[in-house]
Amino acid sequence: MPEKQDKEATALREPPYLVVTVPCYNEEAVLGETSEVLAAKLEELIKAGQVTAESSVLFIDDGSQDATWSIIERLHEANPIRFHGAKLAHNKGHQNALLAGLTLAYQNGEDVVVSMDADLQDDPNAIDEMVRDYREGVEIAYGVRDNRDADTAFKRGTAHMFYKALSAMDTDIIPDHADFRLMSRKALAALLNFREENLFLRGIVPSIGMEHAEVHYKRGERHAGESKYPLHKMVSFAVEGITSFSTKPLTMITGLGIVSVIIGLIMLIYTVASVGMGHAVAGWGSMMVSLWLIGGFILLALGVIGEYIAKIYQEVKHRPRFIIETTI
């Protein structure tokens, strides 16, 4: 992926129409503060001439059961330019709520969209640098956490394992980047071409390519409310991440089959040799050899089926075959 070009090389882009999209699931405890902080951030950026005056916040209520939606409605009534909202009919999870926000922002014709969590763990001040990077020509600016002190040791450890596992499975993942990022209209258009059912944004967005930058920030504490990612959601998120990017688990079966067949063949040689030397144990050799060989052949057969399933899996995702960055 090309890194961002020399800063001085090109004139700045026009101040963009910015939308900050925020997925919210049962966030009544923190929304008041979040909306104030974001509105202040937007006013500041507008005053500084970095974004256009109609820039706004788009809350996506991910089927909350608490007062989240009525808070969003009130915010919109009080300030219809600055606050917008959309309510999903069901709780569809963080990734889908995000995608809803990105899709709506795109349809509304914004120039750039920043996605961030509702709990202010992502530092809104990092948006300044993201917007600057965009004006200097990047299409995607990734927020990267410099410290995770605010997270529990357990969360840090599991997150570390998760990023390690994903990169071992050939995914273009950016370590310590969650879903706090800026995307230009062009990058969004490319993203919306990925029509797959289970969208794992952290893996898909880097695979778009295009000019990008990283913006480092300190991740803070959740300002109010509780984490909406209990252990079981974290596990299914990790499984989702791996299975939507990699077919390695399937193809690993072939490797196991090969190992088992090799062990079977060694046993065969050993058995024949011990018969030749006259100290064979009756029945043991034939048992062990057939166990390992038959086991190995079955695994190999499963591996072959796995390879085909992997192919089918790649095909049904209908990913775009290429992404055009510019034409002249």
Q: Compare residues 56 and 121 and give the one whose CB is closer to Mg ion.
A: 121
Q: Residue 103: enclosing H or E segment and its boundaries? A: helix 94-107
How far apart are CB 97 and Mg ion at their closest, in Å? 13
Nearer to Mg ion, 170 or 226 (CB): 226
Where on the chain is the footprint of ligand UDP (CB under 6 A)?
23-25, 27, 62, 91, 93-94, 97, 117-119, 121, 227-229
DSSP state of 2: P
Q: Cβ 197 to ligand UDP, closest distance in Å?
A: 17
Q: Where do we find the tokens 């922002």?
A: 105
Please report how close the Cβ of residue 90 comes to ligand UDP at its closest, in angstroms: 10
Comparing CB distances to ligand UDP, the nearer of 27 and 211 is 27
Of 148 and 248, CB closest to ligand UDP:
148
Give the integer Cα–Cα distance in Å for 220 and 217: 9
Residue 134, binding choice from ligand UDP, Mg ion, none, Cβ under 5 to 8 Å by partner class: none
Q: Which does 94 bind (CB under 5 to 8 A by kind): ligand UDP, Mg ion, none?
A: ligand UDP
List all residues 6 or more positions away from 264 whose beta carbon is below 8 Å from its beta carbon: 289, 291, 292, 293, 295, 296
Nearer to Mg ion, 30 or 213 (CB): 30
Distance CA 165, CA 207 (A): 17
Return the residue matching tokens 């797959």: 196
Least separation in angstroms between residue 251's CB and Mg ion is 35
The Cα–Cα gap between 270 and 278 comes to 12
**Nearest approach, Cβ of residue 210 and ligand UDP (Å):** 25
Tokens of 142: 């990734």
CB neighbour list of residue 121: distance below 8 Å, 6 or more residues apart: 150, 219, 220, 221, 222, 223
Which one of Mg ion, ligand UDP, none is in contact with 123 (Cβ closer than 5 to 8 A by kind)?
none
Q: Is 206 left (phi over 0), alpha (psi -120 to 50) or beta?
A: alpha
Smallest gap, in angstroms, from Cβ of residue 91 to ligand UDP?
A: 5
CB atoms within 10 A of CB 315: 9
**290, amino acid identity:** S
Question: 177 with 144: CB under 8 angstroms?
Answer: yes
**Residue 27 partner contact from ligand UDP, Mg ion, none using kind-dependent CB cut-offs of 5 to 8 Å:** ligand UDP
Q: Between 209 and 225, whose beta carbon lies closer to Mg ion?
A: 225
Containing H/E element for 47? helix 28-47
User: Three-class SS of residue 152?
Assistant: coil
136 touches, from Mg ion, ligand UDP, none (C-beta below 5 to 8 Å by class): none
Please, which of residues 112-131 interact with Mg ion by CB under 5 A? 117, 119, 121
Residue 66 CB, shortest distance to ligand UDP, in Å, is 11
Q: Which is nearer to ligand UDP, 193 or 227 (CB)?
A: 227
Closer Cβ to Mg ion, 63 or 220, answer by number? 220
293: tokens are 């060989």
3-state DSSP call for residue 114?
A: strand
Q: Tokens 């009544």 identify what position?
A: 28
151 touches Mg ion (CB under 5 A): no
CB of 177 to ligand UDP, least distance (A): 13
Tell me which of Mg ion, ligand UDP, none is bound by residue 308, counting a contact when its beta carbon lies within the kind-specific cut-off of 5 to 8 angstroms. none
Binding site for Mg ion (CB under 5 A): 117, 119, 121
